[in-house]
């Protein structure tokens, strides 16, 4: 499912955070779990986010992910954690180093119903992954997809990812730099979407707690009003590194953008690659 956040960043067609996708798949690798529904996702998220996800943005993000997994020598599937409607998974599964290896995981039923063809997907909760221990070669999550829960749940979630990966497996995470949000703790916008809907959002970042909380409202052309509240946790890089190491990973790289540049005060992205430690 998708899990985006409030601040719409300067890149065309992209907001500052996001989550996932799914369907069902028969395979000895799957282990079924029940999962609660997160109310913010569904029609509100899809209708307010898809108009901003341009072809150019998706192509650049897919290219980055393809390069990230280019040298992966661990055999097995790679899962898109929170695949949403599958704009990354569909392309990565069709060609390149991950062709035929990508699986989608999404909790939001509507996102799964509208997902792109070309890859298998499962409906499940990020906190209870339906994969057997040591069955995956890699995983990736875009737009802060993994960090919409409590700190305790984030520890458990990353341990779940570690459980499912093979030793040497790769995890790629994209989020927004903590410092960027701290420098602009309050944000709001109002805009008309191509279909005539009015999209309004207000957000506030609590730098002490590292949580960005926002309310989004979408007024549809037929007069229907969709609204919801969400919160996303943003970690300073040192804290994120510690979190990954605590849950079984070793940091391999840190980038401040999709061209693999070094992080800086003006970075719009924080992208990390982490490898599951052996033993």
Give the span between the Cα atoms of 239 and 89, in whole angstroms: 29
What pLDDT score does 30 carry?
Answer: 35
Q: What is the pLDDT of residue 27?
A: 36
Check residue 9 and give its pLDDT: 36
Structural domain that includes position 53? 1-279
Q: Provide block-wise average pLDDT over 10 residues at a time, the chain (279 residues).
A: 37 30 34 42 88 94 98 97 96 98 96 95 96 98 94 97 97 96 95 96 97 96 94 96 98 97 92 91
**pTM score, whole prediction:** 0.86
pLDDT tens track for 28-85: 333 333 333 356 778 898 899 999 999 999 999 999 999 999 999 999 999 999 999 9
CATH code assigned at 68: 3.40.50.150
pLDDT value of residue 279: 61
How many domains does one find in the chain? 1
Tell me, what's the pLDDT at 135?
98
Instruction: Output the CA torsion 92→93→99→103 (10° steps).
Output: 110
């Amino acid at each position: 499912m998708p899990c985006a956040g409030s601040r719409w960043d300067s890149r065309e067609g992209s907001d500052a955070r996001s989550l996932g996708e799914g369907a069902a798949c028969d395979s000895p690798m799957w282990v079924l779990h029940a999962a609660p529904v997160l109310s913010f996702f569904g029609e509100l998220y899809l209708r307010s986010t898809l108009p901003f996800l341009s072809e150019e943005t998706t192509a650049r993000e897919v290219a980055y992910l393809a390069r990230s997994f280019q040298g992966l020598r661990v055999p097995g599937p790679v899962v898109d954690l929170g695949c949403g409607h599958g704009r990354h998974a569909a392309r990565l599964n069709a060609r390149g180093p991950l062709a035929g290896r990508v699986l989608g995981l999404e909790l939001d039923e509507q996102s799964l119903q509208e997902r792109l063809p070309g890859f298998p997907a499962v409906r499940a909760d990020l906190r209870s992954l339906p994969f057997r221990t040591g069955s995956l070669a890699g995983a990736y999550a875009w737009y802060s997809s993994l960090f919409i829960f409590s700190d305790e749940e984030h520890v458990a979630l990353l341990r779940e990812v570690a459980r499912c990966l093979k030793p040497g497996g790769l995890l790629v995470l994209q989020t927004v730099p903590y410092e960027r949000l701290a420098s602009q703790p309050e944000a709001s916008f109002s805009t008309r979407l191509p279909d005539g809907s009015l999209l309004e959002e207000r957000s506030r970042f609590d730098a002490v707690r590292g949580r960005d909380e926002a309310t989004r409202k979408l007024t549809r052309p037929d007069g229907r009003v969709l609204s919801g509240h969400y919160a996303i946790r943003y970690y300073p890089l040192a804290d994120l590194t510690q979190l990954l190491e605590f849950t079984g990973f070793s940091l391999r790289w840190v980038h401040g953008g999709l061209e693999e540049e070094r992080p800086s005060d003006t970075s719009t992205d924080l992208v990390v690659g982490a490898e599951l430690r052996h033993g």
